[in-house]
Amino acid sequence: MKIIKMFVVSIGLLYLYGCASGAKMENMAHTDVVVTPRAYDAALKNGVEVASVTGGEETNPAWTSEIGNEEFSGAVKQSLASQGLLAETGRYQLQIELKEVDQPMFGFDMTVTTHVRYVLTDSQNSTVIFDDTLAAAHTATVSDAFVAIKRLQMANEGAGKKNIEALLKKLSELKISTNQVSVVD
């Protein structure tokens, strides 16, 4: 009987506090070029096409916030465009796989960690230039949002944004020439 009461109370609280919303594209995009100006190899300028995004999950409003493929794709495209890298049909094809999004079920501080695999391929010769899985975490606290569902959404968005920022950092380290590709550490 106690379990049933807890279930009814939980459903009632969910109803009162709203439903889960998915991570929003505009809150995941990293477009602040003033804070983190980066120099990119000339070959990447207006040359990176987002070929595919897989592994994301759509949000079930009655359950938890998630990061969807379409939203993450839009955030990556917006971020690449802000850096002058995005192309509709570019020489360099970027494939993205959201491998894992670690989320808490409940808590005051919600920390989400994203694990995203990025594969950058030269479409002219099928050479894989970059293949790496990047992890990034973000914590949303009660001071950010009182309602847990909103905190989880904010943590998802923050982790997505930090992951995209890590991708941009990696891309800025690439040195591409006609004979050689390397990552500068």
Distance CA 161, CA 19 (A): 23
pLDDT at 41: 92
Strands (DSSP E) found in the chain? 48-54, 92-102, 110-122, 127-140, 174-176, 181-183
Q: Name residues of the chain where pLDDT drops below 70.
A: 1, 6-31, 33-37, 57, 59-66, 144, 148, 177-185
pLDDT at 15: 44
pLDDT at 153: 83
Reported as a single tens digit per residue, the pLDDT across 27-39 is: 556 667 655 668 8
pLDDT at 87: 94
Mapping DSSP to helix (H, G, I), strand (E, B) and coil, where does residue 124 land?
Answer: coil
Q: Domain segments of the chain: what residues?
A: 20-183
Mapping DSSP to helix (H, G, I), strand (E, B) and coil, where does residue 63 land?
Answer: coil
Judge: domain 20-183, CATH 3.40.718.10: no
Reported as a single tens digit per residue, the pLDDT across 173-185 is: 999 865 555 454 4
